[in-house]
Structure 1
Amino acid sequence: MDARKIALPLLSPLWLGFYLLPAQADIAKTSGGLEIVSDDGNFSAKLGARIHFDTYLFDADIEDPVSTTEFRRARITLTGEAYSWKYKLEQDFAAGDTLAGFRDVWIGHDFFGGTIKVGQFKPFRAMEELTSSNEILMLERPFTTATGIYDGRQFQQGLGWNNHWDCFTAGVMAFNLRNADTPRNEGVGAAGRFTWAPVNNDLSTLHLGASYSYENANRASEPLEADGDYAGRRGPSQLIALTPGDEEFFFGDFGDEEFFLGSQGGTVHGAGLELAGTWGPFYAQAEYTYGNYEGDYRVSELFFEELFDAPPSFECDEEFGCFIGDQDVHAWYIQGSWLITGEHKPYNSKKGVFKSAKPNSPWGAWELTARYESIQNDEISDLEADSWIVGINYYHNPKVRFMLNLRFGDDDFTGDGTDQLGIRAQMSW
C-alpha cells in the first residue's frame, strides 16, 4: 500500500489543529504614527520622518552667495525597545552620504531613574541646540549652538546620562571629538546641563538653565572652531576663533608666504546660561555662552587672510607673522514670538526646551517671530558678526509648518552686510 495514503489521514488532524490555533501576531499601532509591538511585548519599532525643503534668496553685498533651493533635512527615524533596551537610529539623506547622514544613533537603558545612552547624540549644552529642528523658532539655530560657538560639533560619539524630576532636568556626556563622518582621533570632551522651571502651568512657564563644555583636541583631532553664519545657511560665514587641533594646519617655515606654526592640539572651555518663558501667546528666550579657545600659534598675514577672510586688524611681526593666543568668545541671542491666533507654546519638561504650538482651529496657527544674535572674539579687534531676523510661521496642522525668515546680516570684520530671505516647507511625524 502507498505510504502516502496512510500518512495523509493521520496528519490531517494535526493540520486541522494548526489552523484552529489562535494566530500569534505583532500588534500595529497607528495613533499619532506607525508603531509595531511584538506579541510578547519584548520588541517595538516606531517609524518617524521629517522633510524640510528650503529656498534661499540673497541680497548680496561684498560676498556673492548663490540663491538656491535644497532639502535642508530628509530624515528617517526608527525608535523603540528590545528587551528593555531602548534604541534610536536616524539617517538624514540630505547630508550627502551614509556616514555624514548619521544623526542620533544610540542604544540606552534605564539607569538611576534616568536613561544612560551609548553611541552618537548631542552633548548636553545649549537650550536651542537640544531643541528639535522640528520645533526651532527660526530656520537656523543661533550662535550659542553648533551653528556658531560649537561649529561642526553638533553630534558626538560617547556615553551619556539624562534624567528629569519635578521641575528639574540634568544631563551629562563624555565623548570622543568625532561623529560617524569624521576621522578617528584621540580627542575627548565632556558636557553637562542643568535646568529648573520654577513656574510651569497652562498659562505660563519660567525656565532657567546652565551648561558647561570641555573639549581637548588630542592626536589626530580636527580643528575646533567658532563660526558665524551671519547671513543664514548657504550664505557667507565668518571664522570667529580657532584652536588648531592636531597636525592639519601645521606646515611651512618662517619666511614662507604662507605658514602656520605653533602648539598643536589645545582645549576649548564653554559655559552657558539660559533664560526663557511664556505667558499666554507670548514667548521669549535668551542664551549667553562664553568660550575660551586655546591658541599658541603664528600664521603669515597671507594665511591669516585666507582663514578670516580679511587682513589682520592688528600689527604682525614682519619676520614671524601674526601671533594668535587664547581667544575669548562671547555668543548670545534674544528671540521671541507672538502667536496671533491665541495658541500657547508648550514646554517639554523632560528635556527642558520649548515645543511648537499646535493649532486650535482647522484654519491653522500664525506666529510672528524675531531674533537678534551676536558672536565676537575679544582678542582680535572687530572680529564680530551679528544678525537681525524677523519672520512668520504658519502651522497648517500639527505635522505641517511653513516658515519665512528675513535676515539682515552684518560682519564687522570684513564689512559685509549680506541679507537673506529664507522660506521652508516642513512636514514631520
Structure 2
Amino acid sequence: MTRCTALVFSALVPVAAAAGPTPDLETLYQMLQTQQAELARQRHEIERLRKALAHRRAGPAAAAPSEGASGAGGQPEAEGRSQERASAAVRMDRKGLRVESGDGRFAMRLGGRLHLDGAVYASDKRALGDGLRVRRARLTLRGHVYDVWGYRLDAEFASGTPELRNAWVAYRGLKRFDLSFGQQQEPVGLEELTSSNAITFMERALPIALVPSYHVGALVRTHGDGWTAAAGAFGEPVGRTGSDRVDDGWGVSGRITWAPWATQDGLLHVGVSAAFREPAADATVRVRATPETKVADVSLVNTGSIAGVRHFYTLGSELAGTWGPFSVQGEYLRSTYLREGPDVDFDGWYVFASWVLTGEHRNYSAARGVFTGVRPRHKLGAWELAVRYSTLDLTDADVRGGRERNWTFGLNWYPNRNTRLMANFILVDTHPSRDGVSDDPYLFQARAQVNF
C-alpha cells in the first residue's frame, strides 16, 4: 500500500508542477483517484499475465509429443483437457456463481433476482384488487471471452413464460469505448437505466411511461472523468418486453451525463437524453401508466390507440445529488407525437428525497451515470426513508388519456447487500382519469427482494 501511494504521489507531482498554480484539495483528490484506478488496472493486467505465464510453464508444450492423440500444438488432448479443468476457478459469492479460466481470459457468471410483492388497495371508483405477485424472477448470464468480448443474457420468468430482457454481445477492445449489439435498453432516463435492484421505490415514477424500453439494436458507450455518453440505433423488441408504445418500427436515442462535483462526501449529477422513433404503418402507439404498483396491473391514465402517428420523439432532463446519507433526484420528460391530425404532447416529472438513517449513502457508477443502491455497513443493516412526488399528463388535443399525480412514502431495510425489504404507501390523485372521472385510491404495498 505504501509503495502504491508513493507511486501515485510521484505521478501527481509533475502533473501539478506543469499545471502552474497549486491545485485545490478537490482537484488533487480527483487526480489521486484517477491514478489509483490506473494502478489498479495495471495490477490486474500484471496478475492476468502472471497467471498466463504460470499456466504455460505448467503445460507440456516443451516436452516431446506423446504417441497418443494430439491437439493442434502437439499436446495430448486428454492431458490438455485435464489441465484446463485443473486451471479453471469456480467460486460462489454475493454476485452469484462465477467460473473463470486460469489465465483470466474467459469468465462466466450466473446471477439473478427475485422480487415478491403484496398489496392492499383502498379503491375509489374502480376496484383494483388486493393480492400477491411475483414481480420479477430473473436469471442473468454474463461474462467475457478473450478479454475483449462481453455478453449478457437475461431471462424473465415472472409471467410464467420466459421473456428476454438483455440479450447482447459487446466488443470492448477500444479504449474507453464499448460497442454492443442485440436487445438492450435504449439510453434514455436516469431511473429507467437504474437497476430494479437499486431503485429507491418499488416501482419507477409515473413519467417513465414516456421512456422507450428494450429494443434490438447497436449501442456505443464511452465515459471520461466525470462524464458519460451513449448513442444507438434500434429496431423492434424481441418478444414481449412490457412496452406498450410501439410494436414495430425503428429509432435512435442518446444520453449524456456529467458529474461536475464528486467527492467522498457527495456528488452532483446532471444529464440529458433524447429518443426519436418512427413506428411501422400498422403499429399500435399507446401510452399508459399504472399507479406505481404492479400487483393490480390497472392503468388509471391511458391514451388508448393513437392513430396516424408518423413519428414521435422524447426529451428528458435529469438532476440528482447526494450529501452523505441524504439524496435528491428528479427528472422531466416530454414526448411529442407527430401524426396526420393535430400533434399531441404528453409530459411528466418527478422528484424524490431519501435519507439513510444508519449513515450509509447511495452509491454511484461514474462509468454508467446511474446510482447502484445502498450498501449496508452495520450488523443490523441499513434503513432508508424516502418520499416522492410524481405527475403524468396524457391529455392533449383530442387524446383524453387523463392526468395523474402521486405521493409515495417509502421505507427500505437492507439486511445485507443481497437482500432488501420494502414498504410503500401511495396516495393517488387522477384529475380526471382516462374515464373522465376523478379516481383517487390509496394503497399499501410491500416487497421481499433477493438478488445475487
Offset at 1:186? Answer: 5.4
Residue correspondence of structure 1 range 19-418 to structure 2 within 5 A = 23-25=83-85, 26-32=88-94, 33-83=96-146, 84-98=148-162, 101-110=163-172, 111=174, 113-145=176-208, 148-150=209-211, 153-181=212-240, 187-221=249-283, 223-230=284-291, 232-233=293-294, 234-241=296-303, 244=306, 263=308, 265-296=309-340, 325-377=342-394, 379-380=396-397, 383-413=402-432, 414-418=437-441
Q: CA-atom RMSD, angstroms?
A: 2.7
Separation in structure 2 between the aligned mates of residue 378 and residue 270 of structure 1, nearest angstrom: 16
How many residue pairs get aligned? The number is: 365
Separation in structure 1 between the aligned mates of residue 79 and residue 251 of structure 2, nearest angstrom: 59
Matched, 1:424 2:441: no
Separation in structure 2 between the aligned mates of residue 240 and residue 20 of structure 1, nearest angstrom: 61
Which segments of 5 or more consecutive residues in structure 2 lack a partner in the other structure? Answer: 1-66, 69-75
TM-score, scaled to structure 2: 0.75
TM-aligned CA distance change 1:40 to 1:382, over 3 Å: closer
Offset at 1:229? Answer: 1.5
The residue identity in structure 1 corresponding to 2:169 is: I
The residue that corresponds to 2:57 in the other structure is: none
Offset at 1:422? Answer: 0.9
The residue that corresponds to 2:10 in the other structure is: none
Deviating more after overlay: 234-243 vs 270-279: 234-243
Aligned residues of 1:231 and 1:420 also touching (Cα < 8 A): no
Separation in structure 2 between the aligned mates of residue 208 and residue 346 of structure 1, nearest angstrom: 16
Offset at 1:66? Answer: 1.4
Separation in structure 1 between the aligned mates of residue 412 and residue 444 of structure 2, nearest angstrom: 14
> Identity of paired residues, percent?
30
Deviating more after overlay: 43-52 vs 123-132: 43-52
TM-aligned CA distance change 1:266 to 1:242, over 3 Å: farther
More helix by share: 2
Offset at 1:139? Answer: 0.5
Counterpart secondary structure, 2:188: coil
TM-score, scaled to structure 1: 0.79
The residue that corresponds to 1:312 in the other structure is: none
Counterpart secondary structure, 1:86: strand
TM-aligned CA distance change 1:20 to 1:37, over 3 Å: closer
Which segments of 5 or more consecutive residues in structure 1 lack a partner in the other structure? Answer: 1-12, 245-261, 298-324
1:35-85 residue CA offsets vs partner (Å, 9 max, x unmatched): 111235442110111010000111111010111101100111000012331
Structure of greater relative contact order (alpha carbons < 8 Å, 6+ residues apart)? 1
Aligned residues of 2:389 and 2:405 also touching (Cα < 8 A): yes
